[in-house]
Amino acid sequence: MIEEIHLSDSTLRNNYVEDWKQNNYEGASEILNNTQLNNKKLVAQVFNDITTFIVNLENNSDPTFKSNKIIVSETAPTGLSSGSVWFQEI
């Protein structure tokens, strides 16, 4: 579920942007602690957690995983036993 910025959040967003531009980080932080934004923070955290999980999963590449089960080769491998399967790499 994605939540857009509601009209009631517009003032908070504008104040946050202005505080950030003016290097008023303490004021910007106070705005983020507004209970009105709790649902938005939860949704953002879920997106961050999912993104982190996907990145970690993609980094788990193991080219040898089950390499002995189904062979991938440009040409037919020699010594395949009857009933063995291989995929031709194109």
Of 53 and 78, more confident: 53
> Does residue 75 belong to any structural domain of this protein?
no
- Tell me the pTM: 0.42
Per the structure, the count of domains in the chain is: 1
State yes or no: pLDDT of 61 exceeds 90. Answer: no
Phi, psi angle pair for 57, to nearest 5°: -65, -45
Assigned domain for 31 exists: yes
Domain that holds residue 38: 7-58
Residue 66 lies in a domain: no
Side-chain-side CA neighbours of 44 within 13 Å: the count stands at 8
Q: What is the DSSP letter of 86?
A: E
Residue 33 within a domain = yes
